[in-house]
Structure 1
């Protein structure tokens, strides 16, 4: 159970609530009863605007519990419907940083078919009747201590997609014991951070985006490469 979870708000208007999700925080409530972004967001809006009764807040996409990064929530049902449609059509631009075991160089694009098998996800053949297409592109940014920092452009949004596509090729994410990683990260979470998101604003119908630096748990991992990637004038520092 997490102690005193904090909702880190990085953007808010009448239609959107954009947060920096800490690693270990659920996207929405589950059977564990542990803190989650959606419940914290509703509480935040209720307290900030002194709203009586229930507060609407819509979940339009997800981020794995042990990952950190940008999460966009909808403050109205109209915004939720329009944003959900965007994510279904893979309109938003979603970029991640991941630290993987092993040495990767250059860049690449991977196409797989994935299936959820209990709590895990695995790669299956293209002809598998339940396999779902998964696509991403990656670029190696640097190497340090037997690990590689990669930038991932996520084209689809399958459960555990980045984790499984890298692990299936022998490059599990640091800390991802579920998918055979041998190197820990910060004790219980992953070296996976959703650092950039761009989508069409649900009412203004114009692009809006955010670039968020990784949390302190990343320590000194790839400090030089991260300094080159995050311009202080255009990036949002991790809150707090």
Structure 2
């Protein structure tokens, strides 16, 4: 039997959404769910980039029956790029995960480890269920001490050692509350906006559907200002 990666990913997202939903039913929950599999950003980062206020997870899904040569090479490249940088090692083992499944008729063996340890002989750190529980607990009670700047620097390192260093993929912020589900778009998933408290407060205050013209106009202005700042930095350099 072959358990395709997209089947695992789909059920993982369903389970994660349900788990977080029942655990945070009394408050608004902001999230960014980036399924990057088979997109240009897949080669730069991985299959999935999850973001919640105070929490980031980059996850690569694999079926053990598939060829793992390319993934081993990517893991080796990242290991070399990190080198003896203990700060990046800590960040990597907290946010960057490898999920490999090997199905049988009655059970599914999991190889779920920090990405740096993906092909080591250390035992699996999780099952799919316990990984979902760990992420849910982190979302409900964030305890990470990694700064937004450090998170963005790590993702940039991953992107550079696995690809061109330019992701260029937009995303959607999802707000789930008793009022329903609402979305707003943003320009670059590498910005990790939900790690910045001021931005989260602004979104929670002003959040509305992307069909809301007023909010859309404000976001366009903000993107224009960000672009202008980037151009000014480039000219300064």
TM-score tier (shorter): under 0.3
Q: Which has the higher contact order (CA 8 A, sep 6+)?
A: 2
TM-score (norm 1): 0.27
Q: Which has the higher strand share?
A: 1
